[in-house]
Structure 1
Amino acid sequence: MTRNRVTRNWNIGWLASVAIGFLCALAGVAQAAGEPGEDHPMISRYPGSKIVEYRQLQFEKIQLASGFAESPAKNKRAEPKLQAFEGKVTTTIYHLVGEQSAREVFRNYEQALARAGLKTLLNCFNETCGNRIPIALYRDNYREPLYRKMLYDSIDNSTSDFGYVSATGTSNGAPVAASVFVGRIRTGNRVYVGLDIVEGEAMKTDQIVVSLDKLTTDLREQGKVILSGIYFDTDKDVVKPESEQALQAISDYMKKNPQQNFFVVGHSDTAGSYEHNVDLSKRRAQSVVTALTSKYAVAKPRLTAVGIGPVSPAGTNANDSGRARNRRVELVLR
């Protein structure tokens, strides 16, 4: 495990339990001179904030609050339910001195989560948070007396505000989760923000290469087959060398079934314009035809390239995994 990246003599690891990942666009700067770290690329800072602590672990298990067993409005000591996440953990603590209230800062982070399309697990402020979230998140995690004192300042002082929001989603095909704890210190008119981002590993896709058996079964039962193992770079139409295994399987099938002819159909997701996607999908289909006819001795009349862009999706275009399924080439009996 990678050692802590810490540039002050604090250990704020307990905040890892405040948990995890944004895709947002709050205004701010990446890193000011003299700061111990920089904004995570998935989320910037609230304008005017200063980073006072930064740490990154390549792999860690942390927790975030996802709900309550009972209402904190009825019992301020209601214990929060905790959910564990593992992955690359980036912890950033910001301080903001000025007229902004904790509620104002909190609402900006709350809105950023919603704009990012992340699903909220828990959203609370003041009495709807009770007073056990900081305790539960501190417990079973790292110890940091200074930061714990800041949290207790917020929840114990009737003139202070604090809020907590957590959410989960995906970024570039990888699971992320995020939470922010915002509070105001009663001394110094200071708002602080504790942000943790946990990034899991992206699901590995395209690990199954179409085989002779797969071609035989799907073409017999469905009249078409997805050509898994045909690879292109993003927004390119050149068949990559690692597609050789799939191309060889297609060639072998066609030699065994000389009476069959096919459409090679390119598909796309909805990123970009319709016209561009139709053109790209046609060019990719044509590249597959060219590879099979020029390198594997398949007769040209047996294959016809077609590009239909995003009009026949295999999955949703609302998330990364669905879009990955939609970017494909199919072999269709004609």
Structure 2
Amino acid sequence: MKAVRTLRSSLICTLLCGLPLSGNAAEFVLQLPLGAKATYSQVETTLPALVPTGPFKDGKIPKVEAPKNIQRTVWVMGGESTVSQVQAGILGQLETAGYEPLLFCVAKECGGFDFRFGIDVVDEPMMRVNLRNYRFISAKQTVSENPAYVTFLLSRSPVAVYVQMTEYSPGARSIEGGEPALKPPETLVEPAEVAGQIGPVSLVLEGLEFETGSAELGNDPTGSLSKLADLLKQDPDVKVLLVGHSDMSGSVEANIAISTKRADSVRRALIRDHGIDAGRLSAHGVGFLSPRADNATEAGRQKNRRVEAVFSR
């Protein structure tokens, strides 16, 4: 398999509407599957105006300078959507809009961990990146003398597809001062917010303590389990998938096993200590495949050893 794939003119938009997009990137309107939910939208004033044009190689990611008016938006899609299907729709729309490819790569082809942490990614829980199942696209506008650029990062979590779009526009943005167009989700959400969502709503149970290689649930200084239990007691129709994550110490198999045990230890604590019905809780582990911090430091490894709650009905 080649390190970098090229976009093919024969790609057909299978999931997304093939409506023409404006030649002005500031008016770029991405068509997404029904039920896609925006988790983040922000005019960025501190991001570097650099667009990746190749995979990680020789210690760096090749990049080209782009316009400095930058906006990032993230969507999450539950249900049966796959990364490949959403990707096909995006590629079709880019072709229709007159964008030429700069880079299209898949996970390991991009450079895996090094590429993912060499680009700017919206923080969890708004954006989620699976190191084994992510794709990156960058493209340049060809219908303008002062071209815009756009990049897409797509990834699949255990229950949803995440899409991050970053636009680099030569024109001024309609949102001033970098204020968010959409309010990012709080660390813990209220039951009413969970109830009306289309697709999954997730949160990280911050503060739970796990030692490297251990599934034993330690301290809970922030009371995350109590807060989660209160949410579940207030809305008896909500169910929770507990997803365990690990740092990168050890093999993939060992880390998936330990992260599953960590999620299950949280499940058992919710049943034993908080009276939550077992039928409303399930546990799953993904090991180190979805890191949220650099594993080179102890602080980063501690952040990656975590359990996340994903709500559903």
TM-score under structure 2 normalisation? Answer: 0.42
Max Rg structure: 1
Larger fraction in helix: 1
Higher relative contact order (CA 8 A, sep 6+): 2
